[in-house]
Amino acid sequence: MSTYRIGIDGGGTHCRGRLLDSQGNILAECRGGTGNVYSHFESALAEVEAVITELFTLANLPLRRYEESTLVAGLAGANVPSVLQRLAQWHIPGLRHKILSDVETACIGAHQGRPGTIFICGTGSQGATWDGHRFKLLGGWGFMLSDLASGAVLGQKALRLALLAHEKIRIESPCTYHIMETFEHSAEKMLLWTQSAQPKDWARYAKCVFDYAQQNDSHALSLINKCAAEAEIMIQALLQQSRHEIALFGGIATPLTPWLSAEIRQLLVEPKGDALDGAILLAGQL
């Protein structure tokens, strides 16, 4: 057994790390930037390396102790086969490691290593089932093609609706007015923003949609109801593939849950842990 265990949860918005000793004592925790290796391969791995270095620094451990450590990293985008091939070439000298997708480590964490199913709705979205031997994944192909019920997709729909209202194609609401206000009510500024916007940037607008839905804003309510319907499509598809318990989590899971049907809510269980817990658990098993 390694003296030290390192867990990394690299999501679309940020990368979290945790360092434990062999007795399970937490020695350090920290976070960095995006850990999405599909959209930011080089910089995401640089963030992973920076987080690992920071963990050892915080724990007052020299980097030569890598040789006594095991790393498990769950990274967004690592479900893409071509990305996994590139990741096979990555290593930190002396450090034993295993890389999975963040949805896989999240599934392990949610059910503490036992068979189970999850649906993550954060910046992106993806479902996974662990049967005790292998994973089966669903979705997770980016917000331009997939990622139903994700923050990025919800944000994109909100901005599109705000622009329609700005041009008087749809009726304006406080929610659409607020969104256009962030662009100084300029369609061109919004357009220029889209040229460099990343999924996490689109996802930032999900919060205001939920906030205005609580105020019975008509457009916000419509957007949230559609988001909930998308989540139910994914959940139903996952339930058809697995009879295991299903947990829902991610950045918009908590605000979205009340908008799901009572039937679906009754099927959900509370996750027992998260992706970082899952990574640590797997590191202890390597």
How high is the pLDDT of residue 2? 79
How high is the pLDDT of residue 39? 85
Residue 144 belongs to domain spanning: 114-270
Same domain, 171 and 95: no
Number of domains the chain contains: 2
Question: Given pLDDT bands bounded at 50, 70 and 90, which one contains residue 1?
Answer: low
Question: Given pLDDT bands bounded at 50, 70 and 90, which one contains residue 242?
Answer: confident
Same domain, 129 and 244: yes
Same domain, 120 and 60: no
- Burial of 269 per CB tally in 10 Å (0-12, 13-18, 19+): middle
Instruction: Point out the least confidently predicted range of 28-32, 167-171, 181-185, 198-202.
Output: 198-202
- Flag whether pLDDT at 14 surpasses 90: no
Same domain, 176 and 278: no
Q: Nearest-CA neighbor of 121 among 229, 244, 266, 37? A: 229
The CATH number assigned to the domain holding 144 equals: 3.30.420.40
- For the chain, percent of residues with pLDDT exceeding 70: 100
What is the rounded average pLDDT of the residues 145-157? Answer: 96
pLDDT, tens digit (0-9, with 9 covering 90-100), for 185-231: 999 999 999 999 988 899 999 999 999 999 999 999 999 999 999 99
State pTM to two decimals.
Answer: 0.88
The overall average pLDDT reported for the chain is 94
Same domain, 163 and 121: yes
Same domain, 146 and 240: yes
Same domain, 264 and 152: yes
Most confident of 63-67, 124-128, 223-227: 223-227
How high is the pLDDT of residue 8? 97
Same domain, 88 and 23: yes
Same domain, 160 and 189: yes
Question: Given pLDDT bands bounded at 50, 70 and 90, which one contains residue 115?
Answer: very high
H-state helical runs in the chain:
41-58, 81-87, 102-110, 151-166, 174-181, 187-194, 199-203, 206-213, 218-241, 253-256, 262-267, 275-285
What is the rounded average pLDDT of the residues 28-46? Answer: 92
Same domain, 103 and 179: no
